[in-house]
Amino acid sequence: MQITEPKAACRKNLFLEIATCAFLFSMFFQVFSNNIADLDLWHQMALFREFIALEHIPLEDHFAYTPTIYPSVQHEWGAGAIAYFLGTRFGGRGILAAKYLLASIIVVFFLLCIKKRGVSKEVLIFLAPIGIGLVSRSFATTRAQMYSFAFVACLLWFFELERNGNRRWLAFWIALYLIWINLHGGFLVGIGLLGAFWSERLLRREAQLHLILAGVTVLGLIAVNPYGLSYYSYLWRAMTMARPYIAEWYPIWRSSGLFQLSMFLMSLILVIYSVMKIGINKADGLAVLFAAALAAFFCVRLFFFYALVWTIYVPGYLQRTQLGNLMEGLCKKLSKFLIPILCIAAVAIFVRALSYQPWKLIVPSDHIKKYGNHPIYPIGPVQYLKEAAFKGNLMVFFDWGSYVTWKLYPDVRVSMDSRYEVAYPEWLVDENIRFYRGEDGWESILTKYPTDLLLVEKRFPLAKVMPQSKWKKVYTDKVFELYARPGLILPVADWTGRVFVGTFP
């Protein structure tokens, strides 16, 4: 029996839709399949463990023996509570489940938004890979920032409801915002996007009083947290301080590689072209897009928010242009060839993602090339200190302190960890970096604080000059060394031949 033309066209359209979804899903899956445990997981869980022991959130820092800030405001305390619950009960699988759940929430709200905006699959085939490429450096397992990603995706969906005259979202948003405030400081992005959305309504002379009231309400809700009004002063300090040693806080021209910079420029070109063709008045959400682009331009850490806004708004703009019509025409004309190409690409990308072992939370003790630049943890030294029953103060580099705290506190206190503005004055972070670089005056840091042991990675400049000091090397492996202060007696261990496998938690 011969299939009629309309039925054949419908079937071809269905196959193209399935192939498109498979291709885009596999790309997104590869982006967030890197499951290296993030630095901040450890100190977040350690804080909540301390909260359980004390029955309150401490305002003073308990983990460091160097000068710290008072009050120490941890904007990720809620994320730490979730990580502690999942990690201690379900291990790494619990953390990964949270990551994939948050990624799924982002995808759901994204799909709701593009459906509401009437974006065709043909245009998405061309543009969604750009959006996914823009977020290639945004995911980690599981950073509190992922909660902000999910909340922003939800907020963009609420904006779509608002454009269609539905204001019931405001009640849900206030409740969700109260949760967001206690999970991650990225809620400030929500305030910024809400302000941009309001400004567009103002310019269009549309109803806006309810948006002003919503903005005032969420600003007041910031005080509803364990730190009270201290949260405001912390936020001001966090927003205005320089972070010269953390690349993700750099502007795009300093931090990004050629690929990400090219993707960003390409995305802007498509925005300019689309808006010029359809007109500013027909580009709904342009103010939100502009605010997100500006934030991403000055801070790579905010790239995901721009990518999400761009991938929701720009395909709808472009679809109404001649270039958009060309994209749709090519896809329909070449669907016979495009469907198998998309399917093959989807399988290839998915298989590559599986090579990262996305079902396993990895705690590396050495660099793993296929994962690129990632933190490594002093698994061997921590094991050694446990066996030696060491109690005292350990000088560590910025990256290692949180892991040591989670594994060895209260027996061991550290000099530094990745909390940065949460716990430490800026000059102390600068001092820590310069010390491990072996810069002039490094010897004075050895006696400036009551340090008992020094942990150093062999490839650091400090490792080359430490033999000049009076400190004794008591431990070595393929990556790390431990030096003891004069007078401190510890067993000498050479674990160079050992292979260390990190465990979580």
- Return the pLDDT at 333: 85
Residue 1 has pLDDT above 60, yes or no: no
Phi, psi (5° rounding) for residue 55? 70, 25
Mean pLDDT of all residues in 475-490 = 96
Residue-level pLDDT at 344: 93
What is the amino acid identity at position 111? Answer: L
Q: Is the dihedral of CA 221, 226, 229, 232 positive or negative?
A: negative
Closest CA to 318 of 114, 489, 81: 114
The rounded distance, in Å, linking the Cα atoms of 212 and 143 is: 31
The structure tokens 């709701």 sit at 112
276 has a pLDDT exceeding 60? yes
pLDDT tops 60 at residue 64 = yes
CA dist 260 and 336 (Å) reads: 32
Q: Is the pLDDT of residue 295 over 50?
A: yes
Non-local (6+) Cβ contacts of 432 within 8 A are 397, 398, 415, 416
Q: Which of 22-31, 181-190, 200-209 has the highest mean predicted lDDT (pLDDT)? A: 181-190
- State mean pLDDT over 414-428: 93
First-to-final CA distance of the chain: 61
Asked if residue 240 has pLDDT above 90, the reply is no
Query: CA-CA distance, 385 to 379, in Å (whole number)?
Result: 10
Whether the predicted pLDDT of 2 surpasses 60 = no
Strand-pair category, 412-414 with 392-395: parallel
Structure tokens at 212: 């002003």
Give the length of the chain: 505
Question: What mean pLDDT do residues 401-424 have?
Answer: 95
Measured over the CA atoms of residue 11, residue 14, residue 16 and residue 18, the dihedral's sign is negative
Whole-number Å distance between alpha carbons of 277 and 260: 26
**Model confidence over 17-31: pLDDT tens digits?**
888 889 999 988 888
Which backbone phi and psi does 141 adopt, to 5 degrees?
-110, 120
pTM of this structure: 0.92
Cis peptide before 381 (omega within 30 of 0): no
Amino acid 140: pLDDT: 63
Q: What percent of the chain has pLDDT over 90?
A: 71
Output the six-digit token pair for 490: 């510890």
Mean pLDDT of all residues in 208-236 = 93
Q: How far is CA 105 from CA 100, 146, 154, in A?
A: 9, 10, 8
- DSSP H helices in 166-257: 169-181, 187-203, 209-221, 230-240, 252-255
pLDDT grade for 408, boundaries at 50, 70 and 90: very high
The SS3 assignment for 47 reads helix
CA distance 355 to 351: 7
From edge to edge, which strands make up the β-sheet containing 493-494? 412-414, 392-395, 453-457, 480-484, 472-476, 493-494
pLDDT-derived band at 308 (thresholds 50, 70, 90) equals very high
pLDDT in tens, 318-375: 999 999 999 988 888 888 888 899 999 999 999 998 988 889 999 998 887 766 677 8
Of the candidates 473, 478, 480, the one whose C-alpha atom is nearest the C-alpha of residue 498 is: 478
Q: Would you place residue 137 in the very low, low, confident or very high pLDDT band (cuts 50, 70, 90)?
A: low
Compute the distance between CA of residue 117 and CA of residue 140 in angstroms, rounded to an integer.
30
Domain ranges of the chain: 5-354, 379-494
Contacts of 384 (CB under 8 A, 6+ apart): 475, 482, 493, 495
Cβ-Cβ contacts under 8 Å for 391 (sequence gap 6 or more): 411, 412
Where does 299-425 have alpha helices with state H? Answer: 303-318, 322-333, 335-354, 379-387, 401-408
Q: Where are the beta strands (DSSP E) in 55-169?
A: none
Task: Give the side-chain half-sphere CA count within 13 A for 104.
Answer: 6
pLDDT band for position 443 (cuts 50, 70, 90): very high
Backbone phi, psi, residue 329, to 5°: -65, -40
Q: Is the pLDDT of residue 400 over 90?
A: yes
**Close Cβ partners of 501 (under 8 Å, ≥ 6 residues apart):** 365, 379
The average confidence (pLDDT) of the chain is 91
Task: Please report the pLDDT score of residue 8 as a whole number.
Answer: 64
State the number of CA atoms in the 13 A half-sphere of 474 facing the CB.
22
Lowest mean pLDDT across 97-106, 215-224, 328-337: 328-337
Q: How many CB atoms lie within 10 A of CB 343?
A: 16
